[in-house]
Amino acid sequence: MEYVKAEANELRGMMQLLPTKDESLALRSYLPPMDAPRSEIDDSINKLGECERYMAVMLDVPDANSKFECMVFRAEFESHAESIRDGTKMLAEACNAVKNSERFQKLLLYSLKLGNALNTGGSNEGVSAITLDSLLKLAEAKAFDRQTSVLHYLVSIVQKNDADVLKLSDDFAPVKAAERVAMDMLSLELKKMDQGIEKLQAVVKKNLPEPCDSGSEREEDELIDSTPMGRFSISAASKIQSLSNEFEDVRSSFTDLLRFFGEDSSMSPEAFFGTINTFVSMFDQTHKELVRKEEAKARRKRIEEKQRLRKEEMAAKKAKS
């Protein structure tokens, strides 16, 4: 099976111009019989319009539609493979970021201790794990004074005891990117690629330059490798297997994360990483609010100090006079 080097859209355009059943019958009734001299057939074809000439040439090409579908698959293969590879890589990096971030681990521990202190009044009894959903509720729940949110209180504790944890967002750039990756779509794309390879290999075998009479698998592989599309099918099958292995590793890693956080196994990466990103954004925003309040408080203190000094200075001048 040969390969026409062209863009996928061009190949689709050529495939759409393949003659229908009715068009094939009309062309065959117009053209001389197949056993007529080649010159007579060519003369008849040359009298046709450009589109009809293309249809006439394609009349006797076996499995033309299937061959075009295979060529479209090949033309789009690298872009689809790269998309799957990029998505898998994003998920892998996000899983590693959540799993290996010491700042996040410390923050979870601070959150857990604070939650236990609020719920048990400081006794030793309390929960030993924290869910992602409970992190979002920190902004709603109130701390000891019933006015300040638990999240504000948490940020102030972190700020006083371990300011490095405030840089949590630096660890989670991959997590932000992974929120846009749909694992089920990657799985579906891989399945389509696998089906495309199966169809391609079937078409290649059907159109081998010579039949493989012995039935030897090795001989058949050699024949497949002798055609451009055959060589591509072998290479593409290997790449898809590699992508599948990488994807399964990521799926396993993500499942482990869900288990660690006590989340439902059906939770999607978009929901999981989206929740983390929302919390980190809230955490950063709360820190900025506290910084602004502290700066405003410091400004007021400086103003009050200047006013006090000015009053003392005026009082001293008045006493002298």
Q: DSSP string spanning 85-146? A: HHHHHHHHHHHHHHHH-HHHHHHHHHHHHHHHHHHHTT-S---S---HHHHHGGGTSB-TTS
**What's the whole-model pTM score?**
0.79
* 21: three-class secondary structure by DSSP: helix
pLDDT given for residue 321 in this prediction = 65
pLDDT given for residue 254 in this prediction = 96
Contacts of 44 (CB under 8 A, 6+ apart): 30, 31, 32
pLDDT given for residue 181 in this prediction = 93
pLDDT given for residue 128 in this prediction = 56
Q: For residue 117, what are its two tokens?
A: 């202190």
Distance from the first to the final alpha carbon of the chain: 111
pLDDT given for residue 146 in this prediction = 63
266 touches 162 (CB < 8 A): no
pLDDT, one tens digit for every residue, the chain (321 residues)? 566 678 889 999 999 999 999 999 999 889 888 888 888 888 988 989 999 999 988 988 888 999 999 999 999 999 999 999 999 999 999 999 999 999 999 999 998 888 777 766 554 455 556 778 888 888 877 666 666 788 988 999 999 999 999 999 999 999 999 999 999 999 999 999 999 999 998 898 888 766 655 556 666 677 777 788 888 999 999 999 999 999 999 999 999 999 988 889 899 999 999 999 999 999 999 999 888 888 888 888 888 888 888 887 887 777 776
Contacts of 29 (CB under 8 A, 6+ apart): none
